[in-house]
Structure 1
């Protein structure tokens, strides 16, 4: 007996949705556990009995036990400065690769594409040596300097610029518009979804960046949240303070998590328009 094609598609679609919900649940379990433990008293969180006790003492202890306010300020400065410089540099580079003809353009662009395949961790030693020679260790500039250019962002924005009709640029040139004017009045406004997509990727990456800031920073004045969280967890590990560690973890991930909940439609729309697929 053969089932109608509509029923087969319905069954396949239901199975697919079930698999997606299952994967989403598996991703959600650790986050739920962190939130649950962060708001529970220590005795209730580490015990095996269920109670409805809730407390904010864990967050108070964490905030007073480590300079998380300073860590927040450092992280905002680092991620914001990297994003601003990246948007400026990749805009100029993407326009040059998309519209400006110069000798060796394709070769240079291929070199940029090769950088995408190189893991950032491979360059840690060489970048550290350069910062040491420049005297930029344990400085905010030393943390952000290796990320001022993004080969991925240049590739993404170059493809967006190449898709725009060249007739728009010709019409603007007839009106006497300069190259910078073209970028500001035509290319940047028409590529806003791509900029938003890259901003989401860049901001989340540098907000969660851990290894490079851990290596180049030694003081509270320059450490971001991720390094501060690791040091706090290490200092409380011997006492098994899981409630405080979960509260500190929630403090670190809460801004990105809340931002995604409020702007998820804009994020998904920007990814769809820019051609990024998860």
Structure 2
């Protein structure tokens, strides 16, 4: 009986926390579709408009920001997937001296905040003449210790007999990796993709520091500059519309793949 009531209380607490989390999102979504006077009046009305989005789209180069962000997100994830897959396979299936210590060093990287490395990374990019470039934004994130850890945990759950059978059929190590391990780990790749894409999509501080031109700014930096511009000021309708334009693709991706995201962590042994 006590366990039953504890479960009910836990469920209600989660629902309450979810409702609290949704309040700013709902307020922003409603404000984005309301006329300026109606949004600031403090009274509810049925007046809605799409003019805020057209104003935002014409007031700032959001099309350029979108293209920059998509290019950064796709390129970073593609390189991360390749490097993390090879490293995870080596840690899971290739015995070599010092593998445990080296894997521990990779795990330590997860505990180091990325902001701590901003100054040395900036100096390196300056020496390489990569400041204010898309490659400069991507370079510190082309390897992922979290991705290596997640994929290693998944690869260790795959029966080794499948690899032996593939090798007996004449497959090379590369073919085993991409024809055996990759298909069986697809949910984990989906989860890693969500983590990588959401991080790069929301990354703000590092692109803000290393970019100065519109041609290289991602959405987060562009949104910040737009919200502080003189033309917009504190007009919450335009700012809400711009914010909704930025976060909608990310929300849609998460809602589509949330089941795979949760299942992959369960199968990888992460509670």
TM-score, scaled relative to structure 1: 0.93
Partner of residue 45 from structure 1, selected from 39, 44, 52: 39
1:68-111 deviation line (CA, Å, top 9, x unaligned): 01101110000010000000000111111111122322222121
Q: Quote the residue 1:95 is aligned against.
A: 89
RMSD, aligned CA: 1.6
Q: Quote the residue 2:196 is aligned against.
A: 202
Q: Quote the residue 2:12 is aligned against.
A: 18
Alignment of 1:248-267 (within 5 A): 248-267=242-261
Structure-2 change in CA distance of 1:140 and 1:175 (3 Å): same
SS of residue in 2 equivalent to 1:152: helix
Q: Quote the residue 1:60 is aligned against.
A: 54
Structure-2 change in CA distance of 1:270 and 1:102 (3 Å): closer
SS of residue in 2 equivalent to 1:221: helix
Q: What are the ranges of 5 or more consecutive residues in structure 1 without an aligned counterpart?
A: none
1:231-270 deviation line (CA, Å, top 9, x unaligned): 0011158732111111111010011112223333333333
Alignment of 1:130-209 (within 5 A): 130-209=124-203
What is the number of equivalent residue pairs in this alignment?
271
Structure-2 change in CA distance of 1:12 and 1:125 (3 Å): same
TM-score, scaled relative to structure 2: 0.95
Name which of structure 1's ranges 140-149 and 159-168 shifts more when overlaid on structure 2: 159-168
Name which of structure 1's ranges 262-271 and 11-20 shifts more when overlaid on structure 2: 262-271
Structure-2 change in CA distance of 1:24 and 1:57 (3 Å): same
Partner of residue 118 from structure 2, selected from 108, 116, 124: 124
1:31-82 deviation line (CA, Å, top 9, x unaligned): 0110111111111111122221111111111100000011011100000100
Partner of residue 78 from structure 1, selected from 72, 78, 82: 72
Matched, 1:272 2:266: yes
Structure-2 change in CA distance of 1:189 and 1:46 (3 Å): same
SS of residue in 1 equivalent to 2:228: helix
Whether the aligned pair in 1 keeps the contact of 2:84 and 2:143 (CA below 8 Å) is yes
Q: Quote the residue 1:29 is aligned against.
A: 23
Q: Quote the residue 1:235 is aligned against.
A: 229
CA distance in 2, matches of 1:237, 1:275: 51
SS of residue in 2 equivalent to 1:215: helix
Whether the aligned pair in 1 keeps the contact of 2:153 and 2:268 (CA below 8 Å) is no
CA distance in 2, matches of 1:123, 1:36: 39
